[in-house]
């Protein structure tokens, strides 16, 4: 009886740990997704900044 009870307890613990691991993996995946979005946004901002600067340089060189 006690052995059965212990086995049941171990089984429940294993299930809980598996579930927690799964949730952690999901959170990590979400975090990576957020990071990718952030990097994409930064890339776009830098690109538009560079394009504006190039435009300014072209204008300056036609004035000179």
Domain ranges of the chain: 1-63
Per-residue pLDDT band at 57 (split at 50, 70, 90): very high
CA distance 1 to 7: 10
Per-residue pLDDT band at 60 (split at 50, 70, 90): very high
CA distance 31 to 33: 5
From residue 4, alpha-carbon distances to 1, 13, 56 in Å are 5, 14, 78
Q: Is the pLDDT of residue 63 over 90?
A: no
Structure tokens at 62: 């036609």
Residue-wise pLDDT tens digits, 5-50: 999 999 999 999 999 999 999 999 999 999 999 999 999 999 999 9
Identify the pLDDT of residue 64.
Answer: 72
């Amino acid at each position: 009886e006690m052995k059965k009870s212990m086995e049941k307890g171990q089984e429940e613990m294993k299930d809980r740990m598996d579930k927690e691991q799964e949730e952690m993996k999901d959170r990590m995946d979400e975090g990576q997704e957020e990071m990718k979005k952030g990097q994409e946004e930064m890339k776009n901002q830098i690109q538009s900044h560079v394009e504006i600067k190039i435009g300014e340089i072209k204008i300056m060189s036609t004035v000179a």
